[in-house]
Amino acid sequence: MSSLRDIDALAAQVKTEFGTINALFVSAAIPGFAPFESMPEQTYDELFAINAKGPYFTVQKLVPLLAEGSGVVLATSAASALSVPMLSAYAATKAALRSMTRTLASELLPRKVRVNAVSPGPIDTGVLERTLPGRRPSRPRRSGSR
């Protein structure tokens, strides 16, 4: 979600239904598999709109509803710290969230709102199969499995 109008509508709905909230988990992203040399500007802009702008303004619009002592968690990605071919723009959006987390943690500290980030690896949501045919995310093995 990167439309400020949609984010405002979300904030209004949350306020109507809940009044205040104790936690906010922001996890929205699209991948953008393309070699650096051929990344289309439109794809780059869409990645930053959804993966960085959307979370930024979602937190901004919902912060007034956060109770003192509440927490915000932004979902970044392990890709922001790794060198994964064909994910340069995606990784940059997730690195932006890591940086945003640090700054927001400082800015929201006086309100006693904690801000943290989680950086998971690939999650089997189906998006990888739809956007990068022939490739599936690796799944961790359960202990005791062969």
Could you list the active site residues? 90
The three-state secondary structure class of 111 is: helix
Measured CA to CA, the distance from residue 134 to residue 1 in angstroms comes to 28
Measured from the Cβ of residue 54, the count of other Cβ atoms closer than 10 Å reads 21
Closest among 78, 79, 81 to 119, alpha carbons compared: 78
